[in-house]
Amino acid sequence: TDEAIEKGLNVTFDLFERSPIDNLIDYGKFLYQNGGIKEKMGF
């Protein structure tokens, strides 16, 4: 339902408001360690 989607978006925004940079760095490290970024960027 629309209500469920709105609640999900609110949770997502709350998580990003707390520490978006930290989350992105952790996500980047995770992808890099698992080879995701290496393959996409051609390293």
- The 3-class secondary structure across the chain, one letter per residue, is CHHHHHHHHHHHHHHHHHCHHHHHHHHHHHHHHCCHHHHHHCC
Question: Whole-model pTM above 0.75?
Answer: no
Cα angle value 15/18/21 (rounded, 5°): 95
Average pLDDT over residues 2-30: 75
Q: Cα–Cα distance between 18 and 10 in angstroms, integer?
A: 13
pLDDT for 19: 64
Mean pLDDT of the chain: 71
Using 50, 70 and 90 to split pLDDT, how confident is the model at 41? Answer: low
